Amino acid sequence: MFRICVIGCGNMSQSGHGPSFAKYRADYPDVSLAACCDLDGEKARAYRDRFGFAQYYTDYRQMLDEIRPDVVSLISPVDLTCPLAVDIMKRGYDIIMEKPPGKNRAEIEIMDSVAKQYGVNVRCAFNRRYTPLIEALVRRVRASGERLINITYQLYRWHRYDRDFSTTAIHAVDAVKYIAGSDYDTVHLTYDHHPECGENVKNIFLDGTFENGAVFQITLIPLGGAVTERVTVNTVNHSFFVDLPMWENIDVPGRLVEVTDSNHCETVMGDTLVDSTEMFEVSGFYNENRLFFEHLRGGSNEIVNDLQSAVQSVEIEDCIRHSLPLYKKDASR
């Protein structure tokens, strides 16, 4: 049996991951949803009942000692991700952790060094990387064989008065880097502060260049009155337009439109890429979990650790948190 344990039964765990675990268990009978844990026992119990876990705990150390799982899914508050991940990895467990994998460069480097020291597999759960429409976009951009010119990413939310929107902004930063297939070189950051809406509430605008020569613009509007994420990509002779399905937003089930210089247009609807229009599938949560679990169950000796691929995203997240105006790639990396 491949035993899965979950730490953190809060909002994201209930909406994105719980349904993914339940589907994975339904798809693979040799999988056991062994136990879930939350400091709030009532939440943990309800999560166990809703998604079919065998047991629940309020102390994750006790859970790990008693269950000795094959993988741990960590879906904790951002401030706790690094200390909890370090403790879990030091106990020798493979781990998939919700984004952001740390609040700054120091935290991600600490986790990376512990992962290497203890020889564990680590996956950063950046669900945009596993969103079927983004996977299709990346495939088509690469298949064009053309030079990448420009990427734009617009992320809007409504009623997000967070003091720290950087932990959501990192989705766009990481997705754009993933689509570019290159490291950021230089990022200019500007802010439109709205103190009347709360401390550190601001619209955020990023633009700059990648090492491969492509340019980008990212627009982040926490008080946009809409929940949307829209991407455009230009290569020399193609334009790609993606409207991502987000929760129950206006773009569900999402679509990708590819237009060539002869004005030939091809449209892919999001619900043609997956079995269902359920959010946990169209938004990539199922795939990010499934692919990691498949690797662990496949018996390969190759260690998966994608923390280094997230270092720049975390560094830029930290720039946004502190309203810094410029990010330059560390030349020593």
Ligand X SMILES: NC(=O)c1ccc[n+]([C@@H]2O[C@H](COP(=O)([O-])OP(=O)(O)OC[C@H]3O[C@@H](n4cnc5c(N)ncnc54)[C@H](O)[C@@H]3O)[C@@H](O)[C@H]2O)c1
CA distance linking residue 6 with residue 34, whole number of Å: 9
Residues 53-72 that bind ligand X (CB under 6 A): 60
Measured in Å, how far apart are the chain's first and last C-alpha atoms?
40
Q: Considering beta carbons, is residue 165 or 327 the nearer one to ligand X?
A: 165
Q: Which residues contact 321 (CB under 8 A, 6 or more apart)?
A: 103, 164, 166
Question: Please, is 194 exposed, middle or buried when counting C-beta atoms within 10 Å of its C-beta (0-12, 13-18, 19+)?
Answer: middle
Distance CA 56, CA 63 (A): 8
Whole-number Å distance between alpha carbons of 93 and 68:
8
With CB under 6 A as the contact rule, the residue among 48, 99, 123, 129 that binds ligand X is 99
- Least Cβ distance, residue 237 to ligand X (angstroms): 33
- Separation CA 105–CA 107 (nearest Å): 6
Of 4, 7, 175, 231, which lies in the binding site for ligand X, with binding defined by CB under 6 A? 7
- Supply the DSSP symbol for 284: S
**Does 103 help bind ligand X (rule: CB under 6 A)?**
no
Region from 38-46, 212-220, 223-231, 260-268 binding ligand X, contact rule CB under 6 A: 38-46
Contact characters 175-194, ligand X, x per CB under 6 A: --------------------
The binder of ligand X chosen from 167, 228, 289, 313 (CB under 6 A): 167
- The answer to the question of residue 9 lying near ligand X (CB under 6 A) is yes
Q: How far is the CB of 76 from ligand X (least distance, A)?
A: 5
Instruction: Write out the binding residues for ligand X, residues 105-134 only, by CB under 6 A.
Output: 127
Q: Residue 238, interface with ligand X (CB under 6 A)?
A: no
**Is the alpha carbon torsion for 122, 124, 127, 128 positive or negative?**
negative
Contact pick of 52, 77, 181, 213 for ligand X (by CB under 6 A): 77
Binding residues vs ligand X (CB under 6 A): 7-13, 37-40, 43, 60, 75-78, 80-81, 98-99, 127, 167
